[in-house]
Chain A
Amino acid sequence: MILVVAEQRGGALNPATWETVAAAQQTGESITVALVGADVQKLAAELAAAEVAEVLAVEHDALEPYTPDGFVAALAQVMEKACPELVLFPHTYQTRDYAPALAARLGRVFIPDCIASKVRDGQRVFVRPMFQGKFMADVLPQGPAPHFASFQIGACRADACARGAAPAPVREAAVEIDAAAIRQRPEAPFKEAKQAVDLTQAERIVAVGRGIKGQEHLPVAQDLAKALDAELAASRPICDSGWLPMDRQIGSSGQTVAPKLYLAVGISGAIQHLVGMKGARTIVAVNKDADAPIFEVADYGIVGDLFEVVPAIMAALEGEA
């Protein structure tokens, strides 16, 4: 049996949950979904629509709000009773926060950030990116079951999740939690004060990455943005270095945009960047490395030195104006 750990916050399921259920369904094994929180019956019923054998509602007052200590304690008990062979998670920030501790507590392996699983020489292996997506690895989990793995956001499509003919049974899984043993005291999530720039409305975006080398070269990208009547945006390292303000960052921890044109210069295309821009209608990438992962999502690509290519684009724009 495969156990999928669903994720919810504030009365809504994280849509990545459906992707992970879809990944589990592809194995053809029997699936149980576990949902953890204080009051999860309604969402458990929602999950029961998927083609799965059973939904476990893991409820306890001490499980809301989320804490790693609470979730590790609860899920360790669930694992001991349910005895799954494999436990799958969506690779969210929450999973990153507690799943490694859960696996370590149970002495089990956790293979994170997978994009697929497949059978190789009769054994189930997991495919995950390494070296910032430059390589993929087929990874074989070792040691006793259950093995733990998480699936990268977007690795499976949520709409590939099969619906059952009838709702799956929802069962309460009782857990004992000592609220006093939970060491983290979380406060309510918040967003920083209203952002100065709203890139979500931009029709055209020029995004600059670490290929720009230094802050002193930023005008290269700024001028191109101006020439294209585009907003300037950036990958995370550019904002981390303080070269551009944080509200120009695109990606999982920045803004998610879907402009008509997204022109990425000197950006490698890490998954955390791609999730913020792959919805753009036309994507152009300029990168000196023909193997850069950004070309996996680009419609048009120029392999070359941005310090030559960008001025040439400017000249071409002027030439035809």
Chain B
Amino acid sequence: MKIAVCIKQVVTRDWPLRVAESATWVRDDDASFEMNEPDAYALEEALRLKELLGGEVVVCSAGPARVSQVIREALARGADRAIHVEGEALAAAEADAVAAALAGAMEGESFDLVLTGLQSDDQGFGQTGVVLAERLGLPHATIIMEVDVADDGGSLRVKRELESGWFQWVSMPLPALLTIQSGINQLRYATLRGIMAAKRKEILTVPAQSAETAGQRILELYVPEKSSATRFIDGSAPEAARELVRLLREEARVL
């Protein structure tokens, strides 16, 4: 089974982000980056399917030169090779543009299965995978928590997460695209051997082709206005804690 996994590089979760001068993006030139969280689960699922069924796992990532960091990490965890769609503008591009760039690079590969994360931690469109499916002409299912490939390798049965604790099994023919939800499996981390092996693995770098895409332009990025009536309790930890306990007892009466 030939599996593609789409991986996005995002700013590290704890990075103290600030809005850039332009007020349309963040200041990330000195930031540290990591693999988007659900994409790590998508990669793990691809590696497990490969272990079960044989085949190949190909990492696909669109972005500037720096995304080679997450590509290397994915290769170290066990992916076989990578396609890097390179373009500066892809660092802050909207879902349709990213999907178009990925589709352009993936079209000739005839993947049996394409996995993406459900949503990116930065832009959070939650749609790049679904748009990619549409652009590649593949059936899709979203928010997937379990993947079963039929014995004949011709179809899939997947478990979709629905709201408030509901689930649903959906079957569809292969090739197909799935968007993977965090928690579908337990992640493995790269071993030293994996890191060494990754150095010899192929990364194919291709430029992003220009495509007609639907656009959304950020006019302004800003820190949300505070509207809450939170009562902040100041002081040292012991002082604040004592005051909190007093308030919970005497004012809120919940203790």
Contacts and interface: CB of A to CB of B under 8 A. Distances in A.
Interface of A: 68-69, 92-93, 96-101, 103-105, 107-113, 120, 125, 129-143, 183-192, 195, 204, 210, 228, 236-237, 239-242, 246, 252-256, 260-261, 281-282, 284-285, 290-291, 293, 295-305, 308-309, 311-313, 315-317, 319-320
Nearest to B125: A112
Contacts of A185: 170-172
B124 A101 contact: no
- The 10 lowest CB-CB distance pairs between A and B, nearest first, are A240-B183, A142-B215, A100-B127, A312-B241, A183-B139, A109-B214, A100-B130, A261-B254, A104-B134, A308-B237
Contacts of B165: 191-192, 195, 253-255
Interface string B3-21: 0000000010100010100
- Pick from A93, A103, A136 the residue with the most CB of B within 10 Å: A93
A133 B168 contact: no
Contacts of B223: 134-136, 291
A183 B245 contact: no
Given A104-B135, A316-B244, A96 B142 contact: yes
Contact of B237 (A134, A290, A304, A319): A304
Nearest to A285: B230
Given A113-B126, A300-B247, A317-B245, A138 B219 contact: yes
| Dominant secondary structure at the A interface | mixed
B222 A295 contact: no
Contacts of B134: 100-101, 104-105
A130 B92 CA distance: 12
Contact of B221 (A137, A240, A246, A252): A137
Given A302-B232, A309-B237, A138 B126 contact: no
B133 interface: yes
A183 B174 CA distance: 10
Most buried by A among B13, B166, B216, B231: B216
Interface residues on B, range: 35 or more
B200 to A, nearest CB: 31
A101 B143 contact: no
B228 interface: yes
Given A97-B142, A189-B166, 11 more contacts: A93-B162, A100-B126, A100-B127, A100-B130, A110-B127, A132-B124, A135-B221, A282-B252, A296-B224, A300-B244, A303-B232
A109 B139 contact: no
Contacts of A125: 219
A110 B233 CA distance: 41
A34 B130 CA distance: 22
B193 interface: no
Contacts of B96: 104, 109
B28 to A, nearest CB: 10
A138 B164 contact: no
A113 B244 CA distance: 35
21 contacts: A68-B141, A96-B142, A100-B95, A108-B214, A132-B121, A138-B219, A188-B168, A189-B167, A191-B167, A237-B182, A242-B186, A253-B161, A255-B165, A261-B252, A290-B232, A296-B228, A299-B230, A300-B248, A301-B231, A301-B232, A301-B233
Contact of B26 (A69, A96, A135): A135
Q: Pick from B126, B143, B169, B242 the residue with the most CB of A within 10 Å.
A: B126
Contacts of A312: 237-238, 240-242
Given A190-B167, A296-B228, A236 B212 contact: no
A304 B223 CA distance: 20
Interface in B206-230: 212, 214-224, 226-230
Interface centre among B99, B252, B254 (most CB of A within 10 A): B254
B51 interface: no
A93 B172 CA distance: 19
Given A137-B220, A291-B223, A261 B141 contact: no
B241 A313 contact: yes
Nearest to A111: B216
Contacts of A98: 130
Contact of B127 (A112, A136, A291): A112
Contacts of A69: 139
Contacts of B26: 131, 135
